[in-house]
Structure 1
Amino acid sequence: MLERVKRLEASGVIKKYLALLDREQTGFGLLAIIIISLSLHQISSLQQVKERLVILDEVLECYQLTGDVDFMLKVAVRDMPSYTAFINDKLSSIPGIQNIRTSFVLDTLKSTTTLRLKPE
Protein backbone atom coordinates (compact mmCIF):
# COMPACT_ATOMS: atom_id res chain seq x y z
CA MET A 1 0.00 0.00 0.00
CA LEU A 2 2.78 2.45 0.92
CA GLU A 3 4.47 1.78 -2.43
CA ARG A 4 1.27 2.67 -4.28
CA VAL A 5 1.00 5.92 -2.29
CA LYS A 6 4.61 6.77 -3.15
CA ARG A 7 3.89 6.16 -6.86
CA LEU A 8 0.78 8.35 -6.68
CA GLU A 9 2.82 11.10 -4.98
CA ALA A 10 5.62 10.83 -7.56
CA SER A 11 3.18 10.99 -10.48
CA GLY A 12 1.40 14.06 -9.08
CA VAL A 13 -1.92 12.27 -8.48
CA ILE A 14 -1.60 13.06 -4.77
CA LYS A 15 -1.24 16.83 -4.69
CA LYS A 16 -0.97 17.49 -0.96
CA TYR A 17 -1.98 16.37 2.49
CA LEU A 18 -4.19 18.44 4.78
CA ALA A 19 -6.36 18.38 7.86
CA LEU A 20 -10.12 18.85 7.43
CA LEU A 21 -11.44 21.19 10.10
CA ASP A 22 -14.98 21.13 11.44
CA ARG A 23 -16.39 24.37 10.03
CA GLU A 24 -18.99 24.86 12.77
CA GLN A 25 -16.60 24.09 15.64
CA THR A 26 -14.21 26.73 14.30
CA GLY A 27 -16.98 29.34 14.41
CA PHE A 28 -18.05 29.44 10.76
CA GLY A 29 -21.69 28.49 11.25
CA LEU A 30 -23.15 29.91 8.04
CA LEU A 31 -22.52 28.17 4.73
CA ALA A 32 -23.76 29.75 1.52
CA ILE A 33 -23.77 28.88 -2.16
CA ILE A 34 -23.47 32.05 -4.22
CA ILE A 35 -24.20 32.25 -7.94
CA ILE A 36 -22.63 35.15 -9.84
CA SER A 37 -23.41 36.49 -13.30
CA LEU A 38 -21.17 39.02 -15.01
CA SER A 39 -22.23 41.98 -17.10
CA LEU A 40 -21.99 41.12 -20.80
CA HIS A 41 -19.99 44.26 -21.48
CA GLN A 42 -17.57 43.34 -18.69
CA ILE A 43 -16.59 39.89 -19.98
CA SER A 44 -13.29 41.46 -21.07
CA SER A 45 -12.42 41.77 -17.38
CA LEU A 46 -13.01 38.05 -16.75
CA GLN A 47 -9.44 37.38 -15.60
CA GLN A 48 -9.59 40.25 -13.13
CA VAL A 49 -12.86 38.91 -11.67
CA LYS A 50 -11.30 35.44 -11.28
CA GLU A 51 -8.25 36.89 -9.53
CA ARG A 52 -10.42 38.87 -7.11
CA LEU A 53 -12.71 35.92 -6.28
CA VAL A 54 -10.00 33.40 -5.45
CA ILE A 55 -8.23 35.63 -2.91
CA LEU A 56 -11.33 36.11 -0.74
CA ASP A 57 -10.82 34.25 2.55
CA GLU A 58 -14.51 33.41 2.89
CA VAL A 59 -14.54 31.53 -0.43
CA LEU A 60 -13.92 27.82 0.15
CA GLU A 61 -14.57 26.78 -3.45
CA CYS A 62 -14.96 28.74 -6.68
CA TYR A 63 -16.11 27.30 -10.00
CA GLN A 64 -16.41 28.96 -13.39
CA LEU A 65 -19.51 27.55 -15.07
CA THR A 66 -21.13 27.23 -18.46
CA GLY A 67 -24.74 28.21 -19.05
CA ASP A 68 -26.73 31.08 -17.61
CA VAL A 69 -24.37 31.86 -14.73
CA ASP A 70 -20.65 32.51 -14.67
CA PHE A 71 -19.44 31.46 -11.21
CA MET A 72 -20.54 29.40 -8.23
CA LEU A 73 -18.95 30.03 -4.84
CA LYS A 74 -19.09 28.01 -1.65
CA VAL A 75 -18.68 30.54 1.14
CA ALA A 76 -18.31 30.07 4.90
CA VAL A 77 -18.85 32.94 7.32
CA ARG A 78 -19.46 33.20 11.04
CA ASP A 79 -22.98 34.64 10.95
CA MET A 80 -25.42 36.84 9.01
CA PRO A 81 -23.62 40.14 9.83
CA SER A 82 -20.40 38.56 8.49
CA TYR A 83 -22.25 37.48 5.35
CA THR A 84 -23.67 40.97 4.89
CA ALA A 85 -20.21 42.49 5.24
CA PHE A 86 -18.81 39.96 2.75
CA ILE A 87 -21.45 40.86 0.14
CA ASN A 88 -21.39 44.63 0.72
CA ASP A 89 -17.68 45.20 1.26
CA LYS A 90 -16.02 42.54 -0.83
CA LEU A 91 -18.15 40.84 -3.48
CA SER A 92 -20.14 43.89 -4.58
CA SER A 93 -16.95 45.89 -5.01
CA ILE A 94 -15.67 43.64 -7.82
CA PRO A 95 -16.20 45.40 -11.17
CA GLY A 96 -18.11 43.37 -13.73
CA ILE A 97 -20.42 41.49 -11.38
CA GLN A 98 -24.00 42.13 -12.43
CA ASN A 99 -26.02 39.66 -10.36
CA ILE A 100 -25.42 37.88 -7.05
CA ARG A 101 -27.83 35.17 -5.87
CA THR A 102 -27.38 33.34 -2.59
CA SER A 103 -28.80 30.12 -1.18
CA PHE A 104 -28.01 29.18 2.40
CA VAL A 105 -27.17 25.57 3.22
CA LEU A 106 -29.73 24.10 5.62
CA ASP A 107 -28.17 20.65 5.91
CA THR A 108 -25.16 18.86 4.42
CA LEU A 109 -26.18 15.43 3.17
CA LYS A 110 -22.83 14.52 1.65
CA SER A 111 -19.47 16.21 1.64
CA THR A 112 -16.40 14.29 0.58
CA THR A 113 -13.01 14.72 -0.98
CA THR A 114 -12.74 11.02 -1.81
CA LEU A 115 -12.14 9.89 -5.39
CA ARG A 116 -12.45 6.18 -6.13
CA LEU A 117 -9.32 4.93 -7.89
CA LYS A 118 -9.15 1.69 -9.81
CA PRO A 119 -7.17 -0.96 -7.96
CA GLU A 120 -3.73 -1.62 -9.40
Structure 2
Amino acid sequence: MASRIRSYDFHTYFNGSDKKETEFCLKFRDLVAAEFAEELASGKIHIEEPWNRPIGPHPINMWELDTAGVYDPALVGRLIGFYQLNHGKLSVLIHPRTSDGDLKDHTEYALWLGHKQRLMTDIFTD
Protein backbone atom coordinates (compact mmCIF):
# COMPACT_ATOMS: atom_id res chain seq x y z
CA MET A 1 0.00 0.00 0.00
CA ALA A 2 2.87 2.43 0.64
CA SER A 3 3.42 2.58 -3.12
CA ARG A 4 0.19 4.66 -3.33
CA ILE A 5 1.70 7.36 -1.14
CA ARG A 6 3.02 10.24 -3.23
CA SER A 7 4.21 12.50 -0.39
CA TYR A 8 3.43 13.70 3.14
CA ASP A 9 2.07 16.91 4.68
CA PHE A 10 2.67 18.01 8.28
CA HIS A 11 0.24 20.65 9.60
CA THR A 12 1.20 22.28 12.91
CA TYR A 13 -1.66 24.14 14.60
CA PHE A 14 -1.59 27.05 17.01
CA ASN A 15 -4.05 29.31 18.76
CA GLY A 16 -3.23 32.78 17.45
CA SER A 17 -4.85 34.47 20.45
CA ASP A 18 -2.48 32.66 22.83
CA LYS A 19 0.80 34.60 22.70
CA LYS A 20 2.91 31.89 24.39
CA GLU A 21 1.55 29.15 22.14
CA THR A 22 2.10 31.28 19.03
CA GLU A 23 5.68 32.05 20.07
CA PHE A 24 6.37 28.38 20.81
CA CYS A 25 4.90 27.35 17.47
CA LEU A 26 7.00 29.85 15.51
CA LYS A 27 10.13 28.78 17.41
CA PHE A 28 9.27 25.16 16.65
CA ARG A 29 8.97 26.08 12.96
CA ASP A 30 12.44 27.65 13.13
CA LEU A 31 13.76 24.55 14.91
CA VAL A 32 12.38 22.28 12.16
CA ALA A 33 13.94 24.51 9.51
CA ALA A 34 17.33 24.38 11.27
CA GLU A 35 17.22 20.62 11.85
CA PHE A 36 16.26 19.93 8.23
CA ALA A 37 18.22 22.81 6.64
CA GLU A 38 19.88 20.53 4.08
CA GLU A 39 16.56 19.05 2.97
CA LEU A 40 15.03 22.52 2.85
CA ALA A 41 17.90 23.91 0.76
CA SER A 42 17.83 20.96 -1.64
CA GLY A 43 14.05 21.21 -2.12
CA LYS A 44 13.26 17.84 -0.50
CA ILE A 45 10.91 19.65 1.87
CA HIS A 46 8.99 22.92 1.78
CA ILE A 47 8.02 24.93 4.83
CA GLU A 48 5.15 27.34 4.25
CA GLU A 49 4.48 30.62 6.02
CA PRO A 50 2.00 30.43 8.91
CA TRP A 51 -1.67 31.00 8.21
CA ASN A 52 -3.13 33.34 10.82
CA ARG A 53 -6.67 32.20 10.13
CA PRO A 54 -8.48 28.97 9.29
CA ILE A 55 -7.88 27.79 5.72
CA GLY A 56 -9.23 24.79 3.84
CA PRO A 57 -10.18 22.04 6.26
CA HIS A 58 -7.95 23.47 8.99
CA PRO A 59 -10.02 25.02 11.81
CA ILE A 60 -7.36 27.24 13.38
CA ASN A 61 -4.04 28.88 12.54
CA MET A 62 -1.34 26.56 11.23
CA TRP A 63 1.80 26.21 9.18
CA GLU A 64 2.63 23.37 6.83
CA LEU A 65 5.67 21.34 5.91
CA ASP A 66 5.45 19.05 2.89
CA THR A 67 7.83 16.55 1.38
CA ALA A 68 7.87 18.30 -2.00
CA GLY A 69 5.69 15.81 -3.81
CA VAL A 70 8.05 12.90 -3.07
CA TYR A 71 7.65 9.90 -0.79
CA ASP A 72 10.97 9.30 0.93
CA PRO A 73 10.29 6.84 3.78
CA ALA A 74 13.59 7.57 5.53
CA LEU A 75 12.96 11.32 5.49
CA VAL A 76 9.35 10.90 6.65
CA GLY A 77 10.56 8.70 9.50
CA ARG A 78 13.11 11.30 10.57
CA LEU A 79 10.51 14.06 10.39
CA ILE A 80 7.97 12.10 12.45
CA GLY A 81 10.59 11.28 15.09
CA PHE A 82 11.67 14.92 15.32
CA TYR A 83 8.09 16.14 15.56
CA GLN A 84 7.25 13.55 18.24
CA LEU A 85 10.05 14.73 20.48
CA ASN A 86 9.77 18.47 19.89
CA HIS A 87 6.15 19.52 19.16
CA GLY A 88 5.42 20.25 22.82
CA LYS A 89 1.67 20.59 23.33
CA LEU A 90 0.94 21.66 19.76
CA SER A 91 -1.50 19.69 17.63
CA VAL A 92 0.09 18.22 14.51
CA LEU A 93 -1.72 16.52 11.65
CA ILE A 94 0.49 14.24 9.55
CA HIS A 95 -1.11 12.83 6.44
CA PRO A 96 -0.08 11.21 3.19
CA ARG A 97 -0.97 12.43 -0.28
CA THR A 98 -2.53 9.55 -2.20
CA SER A 99 -4.76 9.11 -5.22
CA ASP A 100 -7.59 8.17 -2.85
CA GLY A 101 -8.53 11.82 -2.31
CA ASP A 102 -8.21 14.57 0.24
CA LEU A 103 -10.98 13.29 2.51
CA LYS A 104 -9.32 9.92 3.13
CA ASP A 105 -5.85 11.48 3.26
CA HIS A 106 -6.92 13.96 5.98
CA THR A 107 -9.06 11.50 8.01
CA GLU A 108 -8.71 7.75 7.53
CA TYR A 109 -5.00 7.85 6.76
CA ALA A 110 -4.10 10.67 9.18
CA LEU A 111 -1.77 10.55 12.17
CA TRP A 112 -2.08 13.02 15.04
CA LEU A 113 0.36 14.29 17.62
CA GLY A 114 -1.17 16.16 20.53
CA HIS A 115 -4.84 17.13 20.58
CA LYS A 116 -6.78 16.08 17.48
CA GLN A 117 -8.44 19.05 15.79
CA ARG A 118 -11.91 18.78 14.25
CA LEU A 119 -11.26 19.37 10.55
CA MET A 120 -13.85 21.03 8.33
CA THR A 121 -14.11 18.07 5.95
CA ASP A 122 -17.29 19.26 4.24
CA ILE A 123 -15.07 21.16 1.80
CA PHE A 124 -13.83 17.92 0.27
CA THR A 125 -15.70 16.74 -2.81
CA ASP A 126 -14.03 13.35 -3.24
Taking structure 1 as the reference length, the TM-score comes to 0.47
Structure whose residues are more often strand by fraction = 1
Return the index of the structure with the highest Cα Rg. 1
